[in-house]
A = this chain, B = another copy of it.
Protein backbone atom coordinates (compact mmCIF):
# COMPACT_ATOMS: atom_id res chain seq x y z
CA UNK A 1 0.00 0.00 0.00
CA UNK A 2 1.23 3.45 -0.88
CA UNK A 3 1.52 5.99 1.88
CA UNK A 4 0.35 9.60 1.62
CA UNK A 5 4.02 10.51 1.41
CA UNK A 6 4.58 8.31 -1.63
CA UNK A 7 1.45 9.76 -3.21
CA UNK A 8 2.81 13.27 -2.71
CA UNK A 9 6.16 12.32 -4.19
CA UNK A 10 4.65 10.79 -7.28
CA UNK A 11 2.23 13.69 -7.63
CA UNK A 12 5.26 16.00 -7.84
CA UNK A 13 6.61 13.87 -10.70
CA UNK A 14 3.25 13.99 -12.43
CA UNK A 15 3.21 17.79 -12.16
CA UNK A 16 6.69 18.06 -13.66
CA UNK A 17 5.72 15.75 -16.53
CA UNK A 18 2.55 17.76 -17.12
CA UNK A 19 4.48 21.05 -17.18
CA UNK A 20 6.95 19.59 -19.62
CA UNK A 21 4.11 18.41 -21.86
CA UNK A 22 2.52 21.87 -21.78
CA UNK A 23 5.84 23.54 -22.65
CA UNK A 24 6.14 21.20 -25.64
CA UNK A 25 2.60 21.97 -26.83
CA UNK A 26 3.31 25.69 -26.39
CA UNK A 27 6.45 25.44 -28.53
CA UNK A 28 4.62 23.40 -31.17
CA UNK A 29 1.88 26.02 -31.46
CA UNK A 30 4.33 28.93 -31.24
CA UNK A 31 6.24 27.44 -34.16
CA UNK A 32 3.04 27.08 -36.21
CA UNK A 33 2.05 30.66 -35.39
CA UNK A 34 5.49 31.79 -36.54
CA UNK A 35 5.55 29.80 -39.76
CA UNK A 36 1.99 30.68 -40.74
CA UNK A 37 1.73 34.16 -39.24
CA UNK A 38 -1.26 32.78 -37.34
CA UNK A 39 -2.28 35.46 -34.84
CA UNK A 40 -4.99 33.41 -33.11
CA UNK A 41 -2.55 30.61 -32.40
CA UNK A 42 0.08 33.06 -31.10
CA UNK A 43 -2.56 34.59 -28.79
CA UNK A 44 -3.49 31.12 -27.57
CA UNK A 45 0.12 30.33 -26.63
CA UNK A 46 0.32 33.66 -24.81
CA UNK A 47 -2.87 33.14 -22.83
CA UNK A 48 -2.15 29.46 -22.11
CA UNK A 49 1.18 30.43 -20.57
CA UNK A 50 -0.49 31.20 -17.22
CA UNK A 51 -1.29 27.52 -16.89
CA UNK A 52 2.42 26.62 -16.91
CA UNK A 53 3.14 29.34 -14.36
CA UNK A 54 0.37 27.99 -12.12
CA UNK A 55 1.58 24.39 -12.18
CA UNK A 56 5.11 25.68 -11.66
CA UNK A 57 4.08 27.50 -8.46
CA UNK A 58 2.11 24.47 -7.28
CA UNK A 59 4.96 22.05 -7.96
CA UNK A 60 7.43 24.31 -6.14
CA UNK A 61 5.08 24.52 -3.17
CA UNK A 62 4.49 20.75 -3.19
CA UNK A 63 8.25 20.13 -3.14
CA UNK A 64 8.69 22.60 -0.30
CA UNK A 65 5.93 20.95 1.75
CA UNK A 66 7.44 17.52 1.19
CA UNK A 67 10.72 18.83 2.59
CA UNK A 68 9.03 20.62 5.47
CA UNK A 69 6.64 17.90 6.58
CA UNK A 70 8.16 14.60 5.55
CA UNK A 71 11.86 15.00 6.28
CA UNK A 72 12.83 12.90 3.25
CA UNK A 73 16.29 11.34 3.12
CA UNK A 74 18.69 9.88 0.58
CA UNK A 75 17.18 9.21 -2.84
CA UNK A 76 13.85 10.85 -2.06
CA UNK A 77 15.56 14.02 -0.85
CA UNK A 78 17.64 14.07 -4.00
CA UNK A 79 14.54 13.64 -6.16
CA UNK A 80 12.76 16.53 -4.44
CA UNK A 81 15.74 18.88 -4.68
CA UNK A 82 16.11 17.98 -8.37
CA UNK A 83 12.38 18.56 -8.74
CA UNK A 84 12.78 22.13 -7.48
CA UNK A 85 15.56 22.76 -9.99
CA UNK A 86 13.64 21.07 -12.80
CA UNK A 87 10.62 23.31 -12.20
CA UNK A 88 12.84 26.31 -13.03
CA UNK A 89 14.06 24.69 -16.26
CA UNK A 90 10.59 23.79 -17.50
CA UNK A 91 9.29 27.21 -16.48
CA UNK A 92 11.94 28.69 -18.73
CA UNK A 93 10.99 26.37 -21.60
CA UNK A 94 7.47 27.74 -21.34
CA UNK A 95 8.78 31.32 -21.30
CA UNK A 96 10.85 30.69 -24.43
CA UNK A 97 7.82 29.33 -26.30
CA UNK A 98 5.99 32.47 -25.16
CA UNK A 99 8.76 34.65 -26.62
CA UNK A 100 8.44 32.91 -29.99
CA UNK A 101 4.68 33.51 -29.98
CA UNK A 102 5.21 37.18 -29.07
CA UNK A 103 7.51 37.75 -32.02
CA UNK A 104 4.92 36.12 -34.32
CA UNK A 105 2.27 38.44 -32.85
CA UNK A 106 4.48 41.53 -33.10
CA UNK A 107 5.08 41.03 -36.83
CA UNK A 108 1.50 40.04 -37.73
CA UNK A 109 0.07 40.33 -40.40
CA UNK A 110 3.56 40.07 -41.85
CA UNK A 111 5.57 36.92 -41.46
CA UNK A 112 8.45 37.40 -38.99
CA UNK A 113 10.56 34.98 -41.02
CA UNK A 114 11.85 35.42 -44.57
CA UNK A 115 10.66 32.39 -46.54
CA UNK A 116 14.29 31.36 -47.07
CA UNK A 117 14.65 30.29 -43.40
CA UNK A 118 11.21 28.74 -42.85
CA UNK A 119 12.64 25.26 -43.29
CA UNK A 120 15.17 25.83 -40.52
CA UNK A 121 12.52 26.92 -38.06
CA UNK A 122 10.12 24.13 -39.02
CA UNK A 123 12.94 21.73 -38.19
CA UNK A 124 14.02 23.55 -35.01
CA UNK A 125 10.40 23.49 -33.88
CA UNK A 126 10.16 19.76 -34.60
CA UNK A 127 13.36 19.01 -32.68
CA UNK A 128 12.30 21.25 -29.77
CA UNK A 129 8.95 19.46 -29.43
CA UNK A 130 10.70 16.10 -29.71
CA UNK A 131 13.12 17.13 -26.94
CA UNK A 132 10.33 18.21 -24.63
CA UNK A 133 8.60 14.86 -25.23
CA UNK A 134 11.79 12.98 -24.48
CA UNK A 135 12.34 15.03 -21.32
CA UNK A 136 8.78 14.28 -20.24
CA UNK A 137 9.33 10.56 -20.82
CA UNK A 138 12.56 10.66 -18.85
CA UNK A 139 10.76 12.42 -16.00
CA UNK A 140 8.06 9.77 -16.00
CA UNK A 141 10.25 6.70 -16.45
CA UNK A 142 13.54 7.89 -14.82
CA UNK A 143 15.25 5.94 -17.60
CA UNK A 144 18.92 6.99 -17.88
CA UNK A 145 19.33 5.33 -21.30
CA UNK A 146 16.50 7.37 -22.71
CA UNK A 147 18.05 10.44 -21.08
CA UNK A 148 21.35 9.78 -22.80
CA UNK A 149 19.64 9.74 -26.21
CA UNK A 150 18.43 13.29 -25.64
CA UNK A 151 21.93 14.42 -26.38
CA UNK A 152 21.66 13.38 -30.02
CA UNK A 153 18.51 15.38 -30.44
CA UNK A 154 20.25 18.37 -28.90
CA UNK A 155 23.18 17.97 -31.31
CA UNK A 156 20.67 18.25 -34.16
CA UNK A 157 19.44 21.54 -32.66
CA UNK A 158 22.97 22.90 -32.37
CA UNK A 159 23.66 22.02 -36.01
CA UNK A 160 20.51 23.84 -37.13
CA UNK A 161 21.44 26.87 -35.03
CA UNK A 162 24.93 26.97 -36.55
CA UNK A 163 23.72 26.57 -40.12
CA UNK A 164 21.17 29.27 -39.63
CA UNK A 165 23.85 31.70 -38.44
CA UNK A 166 25.93 30.98 -41.51
CA UNK A 167 22.89 31.78 -43.68
CA UNK A 168 22.39 35.00 -41.72
CA UNK A 169 25.99 36.09 -42.03
CA UNK A 170 26.24 35.25 -45.70
CA UNK A 171 26.77 38.31 -47.86
CA UNK A 172 23.71 37.33 -49.85
CA UNK A 173 21.30 37.94 -46.95
CA UNK A 174 18.71 40.15 -48.61
CA UNK A 175 16.11 40.49 -45.92
CA UNK A 176 17.43 43.44 -43.98
CA UNK A 177 18.41 44.00 -40.39
CA UNK A 178 14.98 43.71 -38.73
CA UNK A 179 14.52 40.19 -40.06
CA UNK A 180 18.11 39.37 -39.05
CA UNK A 181 17.42 40.54 -35.49
CA UNK A 182 14.23 38.47 -35.29
CA UNK A 183 15.93 35.39 -36.72
CA UNK A 184 18.85 35.79 -34.29
CA UNK A 185 16.58 36.00 -31.26
CA UNK A 186 14.27 33.22 -32.44
CA UNK A 187 17.14 30.87 -33.13
CA UNK A 188 18.52 31.59 -29.68
CA UNK A 189 15.10 30.85 -28.11
CA UNK A 190 14.90 27.43 -29.76
CA UNK A 191 18.47 26.61 -28.82
CA UNK A 192 17.88 27.58 -25.17
CA UNK A 193 14.62 25.60 -25.09
CA UNK A 194 16.62 22.55 -26.15
CA UNK A 195 19.32 23.25 -23.55
CA UNK A 196 16.75 23.30 -20.77
CA UNK A 197 15.24 20.00 -21.94
CA UNK A 198 18.75 18.51 -21.83
CA UNK A 199 19.24 19.95 -18.37
CA UNK A 200 16.00 18.33 -17.17
CA UNK A 201 17.29 14.95 -18.37
CA UNK A 202 20.70 15.60 -16.81
CA UNK A 203 19.06 16.25 -13.46
CA UNK A 204 16.91 13.13 -13.74
CA UNK A 205 20.10 11.11 -14.25
CA UNK A 206 21.52 12.78 -11.17
CA UNK A 207 18.43 11.75 -9.24
CA UNK A 208 18.58 8.19 -10.48
CA UNK A 209 22.31 7.62 -10.03
CA UNK A 210 23.51 10.26 -7.54
CA UNK A 211 26.05 11.66 -9.98
CA UNK A 212 26.17 13.44 -13.29
CA UNK A 213 27.62 11.49 -16.22
CA UNK A 214 31.34 12.26 -16.44
CA UNK A 215 31.84 11.23 -20.04
CA UNK A 216 30.77 14.53 -21.51
CA UNK A 217 27.47 13.04 -22.67
CA UNK A 218 25.77 15.88 -20.90
CA UNK A 219 27.53 19.14 -21.38
CA UNK A 220 26.46 22.17 -19.43
CA UNK A 221 23.96 24.12 -21.45
CA UNK A 222 25.32 27.35 -22.83
Contacts and interface: CB of A to CB of B under 8 A. Distances in A.
- Copies of chain A in the complex: 2
A67 B84 contact: no
A95 interface: yes
A111 to B, nearest CB: 17
A115 to B, nearest CB: 17
A110 interface: no
Contact of A180 (B73, B78, B181, B222): B181
- Interface size class for chain A? 20 to 34
Interface string A57-87: 0000001100110010110011001001100
A165 interface: yes
Contact of A168 (B63, B165, B173, B177): B177
A112 to B, nearest CB: 13
A169 B178 contact: yes
